[in-house]
A and B are shown apart, each in its own frame.
Chain A
Amino acid sequence: MKLGFLVDLALCMGCKGCEVSCKVENEVPLSMWRLRVKYVDVGTFPETKRTFTPLRCNHCENAPCERICPVSALHYLENGIVNVDKERCIGCAGCVMACPYGAIYIDPETNTADKCTYCAHRVAGGMMPACVVACPVEANIFGDLDDPTSNISMYIMEHQGNVKVRKPEKNTHPKHFYTSGGEVNLNPLASKREEGYNLFNNITHLKHVGGH
């Protein structure tokens, strides 16, 4: 079994339902995110378009975070999920430096690494990840990539040529796919971040994350 995710960006309407349900399900602390939906506006008024991209851990098959973790706190489950053992983690932040997707943060409450686990605890009980359940337009598709009859496999087959991953050049082999997305959705360097042009201009920038 190899669990994977696919987001159909043509369906996503940026409601942030997934984001909120993830925070609630996993008790993600304030100012931290396992999953978030990024808005990028493209074009010149009035020809502008707003894009929405849910971003979470890709559960890479060749995960740099797993490789660098000195104590195997980051480890693979048999279903392919890259999980975190918070009891094992020493908080070295090696994984934060290694994940090319910025998917890991140091939880300020536990002082250990944390990230999306594809809701491994729910999956173990036969449930879908919280974000999948919350999505009102079924933009999040989750399932077994090894099973050709699973929803996700069939979706990938149907959208051949339109299925992308983030930063393929990093050779991490993500098990998280996107359809109908372009550079601005998947490449952080394809968009600008300018002070004053954000919907929430008073963003709280995190101070040095750390237990010292």
Chain B
Amino acid sequence: MVEHTTAATDAIVTLDVALPGIVWGWMITLNMWAKSIGTGVVLIGVYLLKKYGDRVASVKTMMPVISFIFLNIFLLFTLLDLHQPFRMWHIFFYPHWTSAITVGAWLATIFTGIIFVMAAGKILNKINEEQYNKLMWAAFVFAIPVTLYTATIMGEASARELWQTPTELLQMALAAFIGGSATYLILGVGDRNVKRDLAIVLAVSATLSFIVYMGEYYFGAMKAEEVAATIAFVKDGGAYHTMFWLGQVMGYIVPVALVIFALRTQSNSLLALASVLALAGLWIAKHVWLVIPQLLNLS
């Protein structure tokens, strides 16, 4: 019984209403994950094209096509997650510019438009080198805010103290680098040098991501009482403990180990395996981070 087990200062909620469940769930995870790939293939693709030129000619078509597919997955699930999806147009006709959701929606739409023109132009052979290059740089410029803006939405979500950190920006950027490099590695793009570059980007991004998560895991609790309470969900005994570590191990630790081993043995299949694991782990890590602040009672 409460009265026999609690200390004098302990307080127990004895009557309250049911708390809402997880409102931003797997669709938002999928949205962030697909966006990381959609923007990452552009950020990494432009780097490859600049550094290796025609040695990676296939990237010229691959980059906009893959980006377009994943951007559409991202947009589709963004739309489906709305409770009033048929009112999506309100964002364009009644935009509220203080909202990162509005700014992001506009940027993502313009970005997807550019990518569509690039993809269609390449497939239909209706675009010359000069036009392609101009669009490519425009796409590169837009890919940066499009990949980062979700962190600003999370920053505006003041109720979720765990997301109130500049490190979210870094996490979004790193997720894009992981998404882009892993996708090209799975597709086996380029020669040994290209693959080495991609592998290094993957490993460095995964390492940094892991460091950021560990920083939050061990020191986040110092920032605020709410962060401490949120982190408790992934600490020993927490509801998301196993899933959190699954994401960290599968998405970051194992891929880094595999990349190191693959570079030594020059094994493309190990690189591909590392990439698949990194993408799967990225989804899990993002999902846990999205869900746990929503488990905290706010009132």
**Chain A residues at the B interface, C-beta cutoff of 8 Å:** 31, 33, 36-48, 50-51, 55, 64, 66-72, 88-94, 96-103, 105-106, 111-112, 166, 170, 172, 184, 188-194, 197-200, 203-212
Contact = CB atoms under 8 A, between A and B. Distances in A.
Contacts of A92: 81-83, 101
Given A42-B9, A89-B84, A206 B90 contact: no
A189 B225 contact: yes
A187 to B, nearest CB: 8
Contacts of A105: 20
A203 B18 contact: yes
A198 B14 contact: yes
Contacts of A193: 12-13, 16, 297
A40 B15 CA distance: 7
Interface stretch (B22-30, B121-129, B265-273): B22-30
A114 to B, nearest CB: 11
A190 B9 CA distance: 10
Interface stretch (B110-118, B155-163, B171-179, B197-205): B155-163
21 contacts: A38-B13, A39-B15, A41-B2, A41-B11, A41-B12, A43-B8, A47-B8, A50-B14, A55-B299, A64-B158, A67-B156, A69-B96, A71-B90, A96-B20, A97-B160, A106-B23, A194-B2, A194-B12, A203-B18, A211-B82, A212-B81
B100 interface: yes
Interface string B87-100: 11011001110111
A103 B81 CA distance: 21
* Interface SS of chain B: loop
Contact of B84 (A44, A48, A90): A90
A64 B153 CA distance: 11
Contacts of B87: 71, 88-91
Contacts of A101: 159, 298-299
B80 interface: yes
Contact of B18 (A31, A50, A166): A31
* Dominant secondary structure at the A interface: loop
Contact of B24 (A47, A64, A93, A198): A93
A99 B159 contact: yes
Given A39-B16, A70-B91, A94-B101, A102 B159 contact: yes
B221 to A, nearest CB: 12
A108 B27 CA distance: 18
Contacts of B98: 66-68
Interface residues of B, number: 57
Interface in B124-161: 153, 156-160
Contacts of A42: 9-12
Nearest to A108: B83
Contact of B157 (A66, A97, A172): A97
Contact of B23 (A39, A93, A111): A93
A101 B296 CA distance: 11
A22 to B, nearest CB: 12
Contacts of A205: 18-19, 21
Interface of B: 1-4, 6-25, 27, 80-85, 87-88, 90-91, 94-96, 98-102, 105, 153, 156-160, 225-226, 229, 294, 297-299
Given A90-B90, A112-B83, A197 B2 contact: yes
A166 B87 CA distance: 34
Nearest to B4: A45
A71 B84 CA distance: 12
Given A68-B156, A193-B13, A103 B299 contact: yes
A191 B11 contact: yes
B83 A71 contact: no
A41 B83 contact: no
A68 B8 contact: no
Contacts of B1: 45
A33 B4 contact: no
A105 B83 CA distance: 12
B18 A41 contact: no
Given A67-B98, A91-B83, A36 B157 contact: no
B1 to A, nearest CB: 8
Contact of B297 (A46, A188, A197, A212): A188
B18 A191 contact: no
